[in-house]
A and B are shown apart, each in its own frame.
Chain A
Amino acid sequence: MLHGGLIAGRPYIVSGPPGSGKTILAMQFLREGLEGGEHCLFVALEEPPNEVKVNMRAFRWNLDDLEILDANSDIRRFEPTPILEISTETEPIKMRELEERIRKTPDFESHEVTVHSLQQLLKKLFLRRKYHRVVIDSVTALKYFCMREFEETVTMQSFMRFLTEAGVTSILSLELPDSGEAPSEAFLARGEIRLHKLRDESGIKRFISVEKYKGSSHEEFVFPFDITNAGVRVHVGATASPPSGL
């Protein structure tokens, strides 16, 4: 559909409503990189990494070498406690070393993730080693929880700019509401892959479309896809004709 893949070194958006398969698609993107021996980083902002690990087990992918960065904010405290910025504290860990249980908020301090601290941390990591593929799951969480004192659109733009300058190919997942307009983040990326979730009487039908792709031609049609044991599989018809059986 993308006529060959994503152009390296640019940020892309994968958008869709909750439960449409964004995280799985992003994981597949990382796994592809791992198989080619690339350094990959998953930044978890929505789910604790231990749950991501359990969830991905069903696919039997070898993600052992995937580095995962836990950027979930701790439980917020109401008493004044020292707040540690994650940029000074957290390090990514390899998937294989990940514990099965959730990280607990420490008693006397809590970690707080802000866009600023995350960006700083990523900068440090990027300096230390070259990452080829990065997934931010999700920018909605980043926007909702980590931008308290920031102007959202401008900050998001600068974050994407930062990713571009770092020279990594990145996928940012974005939650879409059930109906209504797409959030502004979609305009900022170099491309958007949108996942659709539709219901009919026989269950959920999933579709995928390339909404925008700068610097390349792409398929204009909407294609159905499934989530199977092997992950997301797009059914690109043998001919160029769009799928029937909607």
Chain B
Amino acid sequence: MGDRVNTGVEGLDAMLKGGFLPARPYVVSGPTGSGKTILAMHFLLEGLRQGEPCLLVTMDEPPSEIKANMAVLGWSLGRLKILDATPDVRAHKRVRSVIDVGTTMDVRDMEDVNGMRQPSQIHALEVSVHSVQKMIKQEFAQRLEQTSQRYKRIVIDSLTALKMFSMQGEDSRILIQSFMRFLAELEATSLIVAEHLRRDTIETEFFLSRGEIRLHKWLDGNVIRRALSIEKFRGSSFDDRICAMTIGNAGIVVFPNAQAAFRGTSSELRVGESFLESRIIEEVSNLLDSVLRQIDEAHRRQLPVKDIEVAVSRAMVHFQRRHYQKALKAALACDAQIKQRMGELPPPPPPASLPKPPGVGG
């Protein structure tokens, strides 16, 4: 295999078997506050450390805020090139003419970033995909001309902002496809920050990206727990577990060997949807497991259990489709049925904390 592009996040490179494949676009996703931007900064910082030209395109936060946030971590991103694509305050008065950012903005070094850019009195800057694309392209060409270097790493923070503010309607899919194609043709390794807005549709950036790193955040009691997983990584094997992650003074650290504490010691679950879901998954799969073992046992005793087998497969289909509640109900029914048929409790008792069947008719 060819070279890999390190992410600079401790633990993550090992999960990726060395890093990203070069010259491809990747996505980092997660809820707000899960550390996406920090992860992207790690990626850029690592590039700078290796002397690679790096570019940050920001659409969410103004560069001055990013600079302040990163100063807390003690990172100097002085040599980072930053492209400010945050739109101005929308002018509601009609006299101000709207100007595309593509025509006016230029790229600055991180160390030159001072305060907030003040909106001009006479015109407001608007951002469109087209203008962002144009800016990046210009910057690439200029860089190549002046220093004969190509940018090696690009971060787009974030595509969700671009999508929400600069695209409307049906065309957004095509615009994103075109934008991702544009990134791929630049032959730089790019990391796109994005949020999953909806779970029931397939969003373009996620299936077009060559890999997705997903960040998780949930409340365990009153502690925020964090974890990271790789959802997809084309052209390479990867560590497919959900791994615990912390954000500390040194930024993000991933612990590939200490898995996220899904079997938390405290059974007090208050919030955290993903956490709750993972508990249900665990319970259903344990239950199905034990039912299957009992079916095997029944076969050995030559009891007729065809109907239960069918019911189990139905439960498994629910499980596959992520209808965990339905799956749990069905699995509990199977469990009751087979126990009844075998006329006794099975030898290996299922895990300690199985929920009591609420009203299993059998």
Residues of A within 8 A of B (CB): 18-19, 23, 46-48, 51, 54-55, 57-58, 72-76, 78, 101-102, 104-105, 138, 140-141, 144-145, 148, 175-181, 194, 196, 198-204, 207, 209, 220-222, 227, 241-246
28 example contacts (A-B, Cβ-Cβ < 8 A) are as follows A18-B231, A19-B232, A46-B207, A46-B208, A54-B235, A58-B235, A58-B236, A72-B181, A75-B133, A76-B175, A102-B185, A102-B187, A105-B185, A144-B174, A144-B177, A179-B322, A198-B281, A199-B278, A201-B259, A201-B278, A202-B241, A203-B240, A203-B241, A207-B320, A241-B299, A243-B292, A246-B285, A246-B316
Dominant SS among interface residues on chain A: loop
A199→B317 contact, CB < 8 A: no
Across-interface contacts of B130 in A (CB, < 8 A):
78
B174→A179 contact, CB < 8 A: no
Shortest Cβ distance from residue B247 to the other chain A in the assembled complex, whole angstroms: 22
B2 interface hit (Cβ, 8 Å): yes
Shortest Cβ distance from residue A70 to the other chain B in the assembled complex, whole angstroms: 12
B101 interface hit (Cβ, 8 Å): no
Shortest Cβ distance from residue A111 to the other chain B in the assembled complex, whole angstroms: 11
Stretch of B48-56, B58-66, B152-160, B198-206 on the interface side = B198-206
A246→B181 contact, CB < 8 A: no
Task: Evaluate whether A75 and B206 lie within 8 angstroms (CB atoms) in the complex, with A181-B200, A196-B320 already known.
Answer: no
Nearest residue (CB) in B for A48 is B184
A221→B262 contact, CB < 8 A: no
A23 to B282, CA, bound (A): 29
Nearest residue (CB) in A for B243 is A203
A55 to B259, CA, bound (A): 28
Nearest residue (CB) in A for B236 is A58
A101 to B233, CA, bound (A): 19
A201→B282 contact, CB < 8 A: yes
B177→A175 contact, CB < 8 A: no
Across-interface contacts of A105 in B (CB, < 8 A):
181, 185
Shortest Cβ distance from residue B337 to the other chain A in the assembled complex, whole angstroms: 16
Shortest Cβ distance from residue B359 to the other chain A in the assembled complex, whole angstroms: 25
Which of B207, B262, B313 lies in contact with A242, CB distance below 8 A? B313
A241→B296 contact, CB < 8 A: yes
Across-interface contacts of A203 in B (CB, < 8 A):
239-242
A47→B210 contact, CB < 8 A: yes
Across-interface contacts of B309 in A (CB, < 8 A):
241-242
Across-interface contacts of B293 in A (CB, < 8 A):
244
B174→A209 contact, CB < 8 A: no
Across-interface contacts of A178 in B (CB, < 8 A):
196, 199-200, 322
Nearest residue (CB) in B for A208 is B320
A244→B289 contact, CB < 8 A: yes
Task: Evaluate whether A144 and B296 lie within 8 angstroms (CB atoms) in the complex, with A19-B212, A201-B241, A201-B242 already known.
Answer: no
6 extra interface residue pairs, beta carbon distance < 8 Å, beyond A76-B175, A222-B320? A19-B212, A58-B235, A102-B187, A209-B317, A242-B316, A246-B285
Q: How many B residues touch the partner, as a band? A: 35 or more
A72 to B180, CA, bound (A): 11
A145→B320 contact, CB < 8 A: no
Shortest Cβ distance from residue B97 to the other chain A in the assembled complex, whole angstroms: 19
B199→A177 contact, CB < 8 A: yes
Task: Evaluate whether A51 and B210 lie within 8 angstroms (CB atoms) in the complex, with A144-B173, A144-B174 already known.
Answer: yes
A196 to B317, CA, bound (A): 10
Nearest residue (CB) in A for B263 is A201
A200→B281 contact, CB < 8 A: yes
A48 to B25, CA, bound (A): 12
A76→B313 contact, CB < 8 A: no
Across-interface contacts of B206 in A (CB, < 8 A):
18
Across-interface contacts of A227 in B (CB, < 8 A):
237
Nearest residue (CB) in A for B172 is A144
B202→A175 contact, CB < 8 A: yes
A202 to B281, CA, bound (A): 12
Across-interface contacts of B234 in A (CB, < 8 A):
23, 47, 51, 55
Shortest Cβ distance from residue B305 to the other chain A in the assembled complex, whole angstroms: 10
Shortest Cβ distance from residue B182 to the other chain A in the assembled complex, whole angstroms: 5
7 tightest A-B CB contacts, nearest first: A19-B232, A180-B200, A55-B235, A204-B240, A76-B178, A203-B240, A203-B241
Task: Evaluate whether A179 and B235 lie within 8 angstroms (CB atoms) in the complex, with A102-B184, A199-B229 already known.
Answer: no
A199→B204 contact, CB < 8 A: no
Across-interface contacts of A246 in B (CB, < 8 A):
285, 288-289, 292, 316, 319
Across-interface contacts of A57 in B (CB, < 8 A):
1
Across-interface contacts of B260 in A (CB, < 8 A):
201
A222→B313 contact, CB < 8 A: yes
Nearest residue (CB) in A for B285 is A246
Shortest Cβ distance from residue A220 to the other chain B in the assembled complex, whole angstroms: 6
Across-interface contacts of B233 in A (CB, < 8 A):
19
Across-interface contacts of B125 in A (CB, < 8 A):
none
Across-interface contacts of B263 in A (CB, < 8 A):
201
Q: Which of A72, A105, A180, A201 has the most CB of B within 10 A?
A: A201
A76→B235 contact, CB < 8 A: no
Which of A179, A200, A220 lies in contact with B200, CB distance below 8 A? A179
Shortest Cβ distance from residue B88 to the other chain A in the assembled complex, whole angstroms: 21
A74 to B180, CA, bound (A): 10
A75→B236 contact, CB < 8 A: no
Across-interface contacts of B208 in A (CB, < 8 A):
46, 141
